[in-house]
A and B are shown apart, each in its own frame.
Chain A
């Protein structure tokens, strides 16, 4: 504790654009705290984001930062990582950015097991455009485009990424800020594709429409409904209700894409050299 995190921030770019009570500052702090605690060289960290509230975070973070087009952060990051595999590449995205418009890139990066860390600032709503439903908006919740309640079934992003072959998958919330920092640290240290579903409150566009009038109410909802992975496994399905699991759901080793491709280069160079 006590390390000055402002050196990782572009303090002259503050105040940030996020609404009062938004959870995104907590997730951003968890990322820079994780970077600090891991002692990473800031010159060798690149942060890539897409479009949306979450994706404005890199502008405040003092690294090489790339704010791309909607949904495409992971694809841009794939180019950065392949060009310079020695860089730590962290993708900051939102639930709409990662799972709707960018869903294809999410599953294919997971399938390749390329060494990117994706932190999804998941507030289950399109905040930047003032509250339309996303692919993770819970059934029955209200959104500006779900005035009669959400009728589409939501994604569980962790299950999605595990289904696509992601080798490190975890979830935490802004209420569990220390836990969130720890799972981000593990994700960054993991060699291969890592995904952190970081639940982050949006009191302005989600909470107010769904009986949680402020940030405190939403954080309390996380506190009351989050259960550890192990407790979740023991919990009879009938008792689960609105509860959800947090923790590390998968941490496996598998060949990492850049390392595998490095072997392709070595083989190809050897072959032409032998001619």
Chain B
């Protein structure tokens, strides 16, 4: 008899199982609520598949070890929450600049500062995008369901490998701790991507763009493969060595940005419900989008022309999707989120005055309920 592919997973557990299915063989972490189960499960599961878990001395070291392991050829991940995410930022920036594939999970909790460690929030939307110094695009994915945690963790690794970049999986405490059914894909249905490697024996320029469709993402050798290459956080030339020349440095900085921004349409995933004829649009993400979806369905049942846009990819921002929907006649856009208006601000920027944007916001751990969204829609009507 075929083994059942159904599992009851906690969100954090689905993240670990998705990561292992994607080929993660290294995890470095540091205990922090509400992400700790990810580290705990990695300590159990990774050695079972020949991988390595280490609890580092701090959050900074975890991110550093992830970069080191990835450069030595392993798919690597770390997980944290707000305070730890702040600490990791410098080395996430290093991974972006040095083009090191890796996945960073942030199970969001209430901030600022220590905040409410066991309560959910979505206040790191902008920190995920802008938390590092200098110009860099970043890919940020945000699941709302436990089965989506599984599939998006795999997707995060695939994007990291294909684009040689750090990818952030932005969860929240609700999604991290919720238990739901996950149907595991059949082994043949899994799509797993691996980084391009240079041809053995060839002259290797680790930061030189090549020809063709994905030529803007250079191949990545592993330490120990015999290429003897240099990696630095200093602005560097195609050979990987530091430069102070603006004419060499500017193309490098622009390329690490454009390799993401030029793929906006390919990278942006979203769920749309009743958006074709909606005159009120609800835009949300993560666990808040679950309440938004319920509200939209309830309102449709009584004939209100409301639609839902649930963002799965948060960054690069799906401007084109919002603008397409807004090309119709929108009376208003409602943005429920567990912060004081970070997503609403971005939606407002995209709409550029075409429709009013109304926030539904909570910041101290209380969830946004469907009734909150319904009330906001009714106030517009």
Q: Which of B231-266 contact A (CB under 8 A)?
A: 231-234, 241-242
Task: Choose from A63, A76, A83, A267 the contact partner of B228 (Cβ within 8 Å).
Answer: A63
Pair A84/B57 contact, Cβ less than 8 Å: no
Interface size on A, residues (CB 8 A): 41
Q: Could you tell me how many residues of chain B have their Cβ less than 8 Å away from some Cβ of chain A?
A: 46
Are the C-beta atoms of B69 and A46 separated by less than 8 Å? no
Q: A4 an interface residue at 8 Å Cβ cutoff?
A: no
Question: Distance (Å) between the CB of A80 and the closest chain B CB?
Answer: 4
Q: A43-B224, A84-B223 are in contact. List 11 more A-B contacts (CB 8 A).
A: A69-B90, A75-B57, A77-B68, A78-B56, A79-B67, A80-B69, A104-B58, A105-B61, A261-B52, A265-B52, A267-B47
CB–CB B26/A79 < 8 A = yes
B226 cross-chain contacts in A, Cβ below 8 A: 43
In the complex, the answer to whether A44 meets B242 with C-beta atoms within 8 Å is no
A269 vs B54: C-alpha distance when bound (angstroms): 17
B28: interface (CB < 8 Å): yes
- B356 in the interface (beta carbon within 8 A): no
The CB with the most chain B CB atoms within 10 A, among A64, A72, A78, A86, is that of A64
CA distance A269 to B50 in the complex (A): 7
The residues in B between 4 and 28 inclusive whose CB is less than 8 angstroms from any CB of A are 26, 28
Q: Report whether A65 and B64 are in contact in the complex, using a CB–CB cutoff of 8 Å.
A: no
Contact B57 A105 (CB under 8 A): yes
1/0 contact trace for A10-28 toward B, CB 8 Å? 1001000000000000000
Interface residue B73 (Cβ < 8 Å from any Cβ of A): yes
Whether the Cβ atoms of A76 and B224 lie closer than 8 Å is no
Chain A interface (Cβ < 8 Å from any Cβ of B): 10, 13, 42-44, 46, 48, 58-59, 62-69, 72, 75-84, 86-87, 104-105, 108, 261, 264-265, 267-269, 271-272
Please, could you name 21 A-B residue pairs with CB atoms under 8 Å apart, sorted by A? A46-B223, A62-B228, A65-B228, A67-B230, A67-B234, A68-B64, A69-B64, A69-B94, A69-B233, A72-B60, A72-B61, A82-B69, A83-B69, A83-B74, A84-B222, A84-B224, A108-B56, A261-B52, A268-B44, A269-B47, A269-B49
B33 at the interface (CB under 8 A from A): no
B298 CB → nearest A CB, Å: 46
A78→B72 contact, CB < 8 A: no
CB neighbours of B62 from chain A (8 A): 75
* A166 → chain B closest CB, angstroms: 15
B231 touches A66 (CB 8 A): yes
A254 to B105 alpha-carbon distance, docked (Å):
35
Query: Considering the chains assembled together, what is the distance between the CA atoms of A86 and B225 in angstroms?
Result: 12
CA distance A83 to B51 in the complex (A): 9
Q: Which 8 residue pairs of A and B lie closest in terms of their CB atoms, listed nearest first?
A: A79-B68, A79-B65, A268-B47, A75-B64, A83-B72, A75-B61, A79-B69, A67-B232
CB-defined contacts of A268 to chain B, threshold 8 Å: 44, 47-48
How far, in Å, is B19 (CB) from chain A's closest CB? 16
B residues 54-102 in Cβ contact with A at 8 Å = 54, 56-58, 60-62, 64-74, 76, 90-91, 94
Which listed residue (B44, B57, B76) contacts A79, Cβ 8 A?
A: B76
The 8 Å CB contact of A68, one of B57, B222, B233, is B233
How far is the CB of A14 from the nearest CB of chain B, in Å? 12
Is the C-beta of B274 less than 8 angstroms from some C-beta in chain A? no
Q: How far in angstroms is the closest Cβ of chain B from A261?
A: 6
**Could you tell me the distance between the alpha carbons of A268 and B225 in the complex, rounded to whole angstroms?**
28
Distance, CA A138 to CA B64, complexed state (A): 31
Q: Provide the residues of chain A in CB contact with B50, threshold 8 Å.
A: 265, 269
Quick one: which of B48, B66, B73, B230 contacts A269, CB cutoff 8 A? B48
> Inside 8 A of B64's CB, which chain A residues have their CB?
68-69, 72, 75-76, 78-79, 105
Shortest C-beta distance, B356 to chain A (Å), equals 44
Q: How far is the CB of A70 from chain B (nearest CB, A)?
A: 8
Report how far A86 CA is from B226 CA in the complex, Å. Answer: 13
In the assembled complex, the CB of B236 is this many whole angstroms from the nearest CB of chain A, namely: 9
- Which single residue of chain A is at the shortest CB-CB distance from B73? A83
Alpha-carbon distance between A80 and B56 when the two chains are bound, in angstroms? 14
Residue among B69, B73, B223, B231 with most chain A CB within 10 A: B223
- Identify B242's interface contact among A59, A80, A82, A272, CB under 8 A: A59
- Chain B proximity of A16: nearest CB distance (Å): 12
**A261 to B26 Cα, complex, angstroms:** 13
The CA-CA distance from A84 to B57 in the complex, in Å, is 20
Residues of A within 8 A of B232 (CB): 59, 66-67
Q: Which of A67, A77, A79, A87 has the most CB of B within 10 A?
A: A79
What is the distance, in angstroms, from A258's C-beta to the closest C-beta of chain B? Answer: 9
| Residues of the A chain whose Cβ atoms lie less than 8 Å from the Cβ of B48 | 268-269, 271-272
A212 to B292, CA, bound (A): 71
Assembly CA distance A64 to B68 (angstroms):
12
B184 to chain A, nearest CB (A): 17
Residues on the A chain within 8 Å of B56, using CB: 75, 78, 108
A82 touches B223 (CB 8 A): no
